[in-house]
Amino acid sequence: MGCVAKSVRVAFAASLLSAVSYGAVMAQAVPQGQSQEQAAQQGGGQGQQRSEAQALQAAQGIANYSLVTQQRLENPEPGNWLLYRRTYDGHGFSPLNQINATNVQNLVPVWTFSTGVVEGHEAPPMVNNGVMFVTTPYAQVIALDAKTGDLKWRYKHPLPEDLFQLHPTNRGVGMWQDKLYLANVDGILVALDAKTGKEVWKTKVGDYKRGEYLTLEPLIVNGKVMVGSSGGEFGVRGFIAAYDADTGKQLWKTYTVPGPGEPGHDTWHGDSWKTGGGSVWITGTYDPKRNLAYWGVGNAAPWPGDEHPGDNLYTSSTIALNPDNGKIMGHHQYHWNDSWDWDEIDAPMLVNMNKDGETFDALVHPARDGYLWVLRQNNGGDIEFVSGEPFVGQNVFKSIDPKTGRPTYNEEHVPKVGKDVSFCPSLWGGKDWPSATYSDQTKLVYIPANNGMCGSYEGVNKKLIPGQLWLGADPDSLKLHPESPHVGDLQAWDPATGKEVWSHPFQGTQLFASALSTAGGLVFVGGTNDRMFRAFDAKTGKVLWQQKTNSGIMAMPVAFEVDGTEYIAVQSGWGVDAQRIQDSLAKAGMKVDPDVPQGGVIWVFALRQQPSQQ
């Protein structure tokens, strides 16, 4: 997952929220059905102050809440954002077009809301018929009137006092019926009443003391709440598990590293599978036609490949999973024996593609390894290689097998124990977890890329101590090597031809944020260290609009509609790996100020009202 380069960021701000009064009734939510055992589980029994969850509830609550059904998830209304990428196919595309390439210069903020916390704000504001749900670092959910920005309720999941957060972030709530689902950095999954923010149930998914933690938005299919565990830097054995949306009962748990007797186990040697990584921390995509969920799987652990010889299935792969029982129905490994911390965690986008006169169901994955991969979905879950093209400078792959897509490696760029090795792209990849977007209008993929951002580290052999960082790398040796001041690069690709259509290189900054495309012919993305939020012409790549915000943006923008007005929303709140890259670029001699201000704000934009006619 992320590098752990030195942070020279200023000290955390003191808690703001404790001093805030909402001028409204503050109600303690009583956790329903929570046994002492559960309380002990979630807190490690750490005192009374955190055995009770709390929701601060504004007086009005949410009166009319629209139930989220499977039918709505499969065919969401154009004005809503009910899934991580709006639709199960992972496109991150909105069919709204009121805000478009001809009028976007009139886009202005209509309301903002301070989240009260620092660190990496990565979640999309989820919108269901006029109600917005935003998650922030430190396990908080804020429910707002999407049109006015008025607070409906606020929920804060109490985190254990002894928690260490390598990635203080959260990527959004999952939605089902009248409930929301929040996966937390302490390994606890919580179900909330969407109308009140009160806890309905909670359950322990992972043990944070052993490095299992949750940051992703759950994927919900037919009442099954699926989550995966982070912890690739702590030597966990990754997994995906499903829970009953009504009760929180675990329905199945599938490890991403096969155990003895399971297919793929022979791609590991000795006991290395027990600590092999394969974490899962970005929401999967889903194909209702085949009833298959596609999940991305993280890096092998520890980082140097010679510490875990073999192909190491299913690390750095996409797996096709039956959501009914968790059975792995197919897989494609992008690169074997990962040695670069290249989590291929971002789930592939499902694209019905016309290529060379043939139409087929494709999986499109702009990868952390710097290649734009196109795969074919076959029935039954089988995944077939179609094409792979590098979208950034890549010096690791020597060749790609034309039939299978399996790469061969330039050995001099494969990190090893006791050897300082450089490689391109860096461990943050050509594109890390921030999502690309596929426009249903232009049929192009827009990739928030980092080009010419190479890196290096020296592998070390170290014993795993549960719960302690286990990179297999000498922290002193972790470096970035930008090849030019143009690192961040927004790229438009035609996945069917494997050709780049346009690119927009940014001067003196990385690009580290998810992108949104709309039927207004626009692509929205933040991600630069100058705190800008920008709109691009989807056809030409021209910057049509920009707005400087409070902090840097690493979150996912969304488009939604209330009462006939289209809005664009995004959180601005810099932290985690955007900050680590910033620090590393500064250390590498690039002229960047490590002090990008932190502190989250939700921004909502709409077109400026035209002056009324006399």
Partner 1 sequence: MVGLSRPGLADDADDPARMERPQKGDLLVYFDGDHEGQVIKPADLKVGDPSFMAWAYDPQKKVPRDGSRLNMILMVRLDPATIKPDEASRAADGIVAYSAICTHQQCPVAEWLEESKDFRCPCHQSVYDPRDGGKVMSGPAPRPLPALPLVIAGDELQVAGPFTARVGGEKSGVG
Question: Which CB, 341 or 344, lies closer to partner 1?
Answer: 341
Q: Is there binding between residue 557 and partner 1 (CB under 8 A)? A: no
Distance CA 605, CA 354 (A): 35
Number of residues counted as binding partner 1 (CB under 8 A): 49
Residue 467 C-beta: closest distance to partner 1, Å: 6
Parallel, antiparallel or unpaired: strands 219-221 and 224-228: antiparallel
Residue 163 C-beta: closest distance to partner 1, Å: 7
Per CB under 8 A, which region of 71-79, 341-349, 462-470, 544-552 contacts partner 1? Answer: 462-470
Q: Is there binding between residue 467 and partner 1 (CB under 8 A)? A: yes
Per CB under 8 A, which region of 103-111, 112-120, 187-195, 402-410 contacts partner 1? Answer: 112-120
What does the per-residue mask of binding to partner 1 show for 153-172, with x meaning CB under 8 A?
---x--x-xxxxxx-x----
Parallel, antiparallel or unpaired: strands 188-193 and 479-482: unpaired
Question: Which CB, 116 or 172, lies closer to partner 1?
Answer: 116
Q: Is there binding between residue 271 and partner 1 (CB under 8 A)? A: no
Per CB under 8 A, which region of 131-139, 362-370, 402-410, 447-455 contacts partner 1? Answer: 131-139
Q: Are 524 and 534 in contact (CB under 8 A)?
A: yes
Q: Which residues pair with 492 in a beta bridge?
A: 446, 502
Residue 409 C-beta: closest distance to partner 1, Å: 28
Q: Is there binding between residue 458 and partner 1 (CB under 8 A)? A: no
Q: Which of residues 63-102 bind partner 1 (CB under 8 A)?
A: none
Task: Exactly one of 89, 186, 311, 341 is catalytic; name it.
Answer: 341
**Phi (first) and psi of residue 306, to 5 degrees:** -75, -5
Question: Which CB, 222 or 468, lies closer to partner 1?
Answer: 468
Q: Is there binding between residue 593 and partner 1 (CB under 8 A)? A: no
Q: Are 193 and 179 in contact (CB under 8 A)?
A: yes
Parallel, antiparallel or unpaired: strands 516-518 and 93-94: parallel
563 given a catalytic annotation: no
Residue 47 C-beta: closest distance to partner 1, Å: 7
Q: Are 282 and 298 in contact (CB under 8 A)?
A: no
Residue 123 C-beta: closest distance to partner 1, Å: 15
Task: Give the sign of the dihedral formed by CA 588, CA 425, CA 536, CA 549.
Answer: negative
**Phi (first) and psi of residue 445, to 5 degrees:** -100, 130
Instruction: Count the helices and strands in the chain (H runs, E runs).
Output: 3, 39
Per CB under 8 A, which region of 1-9, 222-230, 319-327, 386-394 contacts partner 1? Answer: 1-9
Fill in the amino acid letter for 332. Answer: H
Question: Which CB, 256 or 579, lies closer to partner 1?
Answer: 579
Q: Are 40 and 50 in contact (CB under 8 A)?
A: no
Parallel, antiparallel or unpaired: strands 140-145 and 371-377: unpaired
DSSP label of 89: T
DSSP string spanning 32-86?
TT--HHHHHHHHTS--GGGTS-EEEE-TT--SS---B-HHHHHS--TT-B-STTS
Q: Is there binding between residue 197 and partner 1 (CB under 8 A)? A: no
Question: Which CB, 271 or 476, lies closer to partner 1?
Answer: 476
Catalytic residues: 341
List of residues contacting partner 1 (CB under 8 A): 4, 6-9, 11-19, 40-41, 44-47, 116-119, 136-140, 156, 159, 161-166, 168, 207, 209-210, 465-469, 471, 475-476
